[in-house]
Chain A
């Protein structure tokens, strides 16, 4: 299974710098405070799982990481660099849209609702960003895209439009599309929640595969089995705060906090 992967040499990267670092991150939508001071750290090469009841702010936090949402207070760093701002002295400057876009190239994101581009075939979806953003020529991009579609097991569906694919196939194309930009960090926002139960396995297999290749992944999920088996760290969030964190196997089998216990007793 792993032989078809291009092994990423994670040890070569400076592991002292956290891939994602949150310090007291706050986020409000109008009057509603969704994140009430999040502190956490994602190490390079790690699979970091975020679990919690809906409305606990885990998806919002994920979206803050690539600046789809602006944070109101605190600091958020990706690979040592501030997200969305530039610090000079003690002043913060907002980044221009163009600068934000450049930073997002290195962060792949997979959505709950896939969000494939419906007017493009699977292959066109995958080559769109490399050609339009990185300026790769179409031939190279196509070759690489076919490798990626092969990797997610959909090489024979390259010419299909999203509407001609099942949910699980669409989500795997979406993963291939994100990988086409060679990201150093992948964000998964409940990637299997919109899928029929029998299609979940295929998507999780692709994600497991990706984790084994050494990709840094932040995964918001309700798949406790995946978290236990593949996750390196796990955070349980509730009501905008981190309630409990640690090794997934320990937290899931022996939760310390009462809220974690009641949540897990409902989902497991």
Chain B
């Protein structure tokens, strides 16, 4: 074809004609240089101050993997997971109650959220701990009967205190998620003959999760940090153990830094987990899923686009 001949004699050899590229002196942002300098100077001063301070930094690595610290980390994680479980389950129940057409359940849920969101969690913890003034005994008729004070172990106090408080927050998050799903989805499911329960489980909740997961991730991270409060009701976790070691070893402040480092490590790991959970629930919401960090690395190595199509 003649087109081929034309192509070989194409514009490759001829230099591009047109106006020359602009070469101008860029604007100098002196203000930026100045603010950057100030910021670095302040940062340097802070680091210097901490380096000069009478802090025995060697104590931190010495105790970093201490048995008691490791027990504390374990208990902090356990408490976080269990309280969040109570919070999420309670939150879903409360959200469904608030959205239900039954005015009584809806009002009770409203009251619960009002109360638990309106009082500090530390106060709630103390109230749970001292509820023996109201209920002298706990009496689950045939199974269990005991004094409140011996029934309410520090673990149970911590779990109830944190979990029930969390449920109030999770309820609002879940409610927002359920309301965010387009009403047309419910109608489409109903038109196909699906029951209310099935519609909720199969259609509405999976879509609500996309709205629910990001703030829930924040709540988990928040919970992990809030667990440090339960040392006040005699439950020993990371912060409490770090304090104990600090008092014995004569390096109290150093142990606070150690605890801070552990909290940072744990919250960082949780953030990564949150990314993957969010990615899972983003299915179908955008044309292609964002790559995982690992896929990004592999993508750079092989230069293939590694988009997976799930059939």
- Whether B188 is near chain A, meaning CB under 8 Å from some CB there, is yes
Residues of B within 8 A of A101 (CB): 190, 193-195
Chain B interface residue number, banded? 20 to 34
CA–CA, A98 and B199, complex, Å? 12
Residues of B within 8 A of A164 (CB): 287
Asked if A78 is at the interface of the complex by the 8 Å CB criterion, the answer is no
- Interface: A43 (CB within 8 A): no
B284 an interface residue at 8 Å Cβ cutoff?
yes
Given A68-B191, A133-B192, A163-B287, check contact A121 B310 (CB 8 Å): yes
B187 touching A181, Cβ below 8 Å? no
Q: Is the CB of B202 within 8 A of A128?
A: yes
Q: Are A113 and B184 in contact (CB under 8 A)?
A: yes
Whether B187 and A115, one on each chain, are in contact in the complex, defined by CB atoms closer than 8 angstroms, is yes
- Check A97–B191 contact: CB distance below 8 A: no
Q: Is the CB of A178 within 8 A of B283?
A: no
Chain B nearest Cβ from A103, distance in angstroms: 8
Q: By CB atoms of chain B within 10 A, which of A117, A159, A163 has the most?
A: A117
Please determine whether B193 and A133 come into contact, CB atoms closer than 8 angstroms.
yes
Q: Does A13 contact B (CB under 8 A)?
A: no
Quick one: CB contact mask for A91-105 with B, threshold 8 Å, 1 for yes?
000000110011111
Contact B193 A159 (CB under 8 A): no
Interface presence of A4 (CB below 8 A): no
Q: Is B285 an interface residue when CB atoms closer than 8 A count as contact? A: yes
CA A99 to CA B164, docked complex, whole Å: 37
Which chain A positions have C-beta within 8 A of B188?
109, 111, 115-117, 174
Residue from B190, B192, B202, B285 whose CB has the most chain A CB atoms within 10 Å: B192
B311: nearest chain-A partner, CB-CB: A159
Within 8 A of A (CB), among B163-198: 182, 184-185, 187-196, 198
Are B285 and A118 touching (Cβ within 8 A)? yes
Partner pick for B195 among A97, A109, A113, A162, CB 8 A cutoff: A97
- CB of B285 within 8 A of CB of A68, answer no
- Give the chain B neighbours of A192 by CB distance below 8 A: none
**CB neighbours of B189 from chain A (8 A):** 117
Which one of A123, A128, A162, A174 contacts B284 once the chains associate, using CB atoms below 8 Å? A162
Are B196 and A109 neighbours in the complex by a CB distance under 8 Å? no
Residues of chain A within 8 A (CB-CB) of B311 are 121, 123, 158-159
Q: Hey, which chain A residues are within 8 Å of B185, CB to CB?
A: 115, 117
Q: Give the distance in Å from the alpha carbon of A108 to the alpha carbon of B286 in the complex.
A: 28
Question: For the complex, is B229 an interface residue (Cβ under 8 Å from A)?
Answer: no
> Is the beta-carbon distance between A98 and B284 smaller than 8 angstroms?
no
On chain A, the residues within 8 Å of B252 by CB distance are none
* A252 contacts chain B at the CB level, 8 A cutoff: no
A128 near B187 with CB under 8 A, answer no
| Residue numbers in B under 8 Å from A118 (CB-CB) | 207, 284-285
Contacts A113-B184, A121-B310, A158-B311 given; indicate if A66 touches B284 (C-beta within 8 A). no
User: Could you name 20 residue pairs across A and B whose Cβ atoms are closer than 8 Å?
Assistant: A97-B195, A97-B196, A101-B190, A101-B193, A104-B191, A109-B188, A109-B191, A111-B187, A113-B184, A117-B185, A117-B188, A117-B203, A119-B284, A129-B193, A133-B193, A161-B283, A161-B287, A162-B284, A174-B188, A181-B192
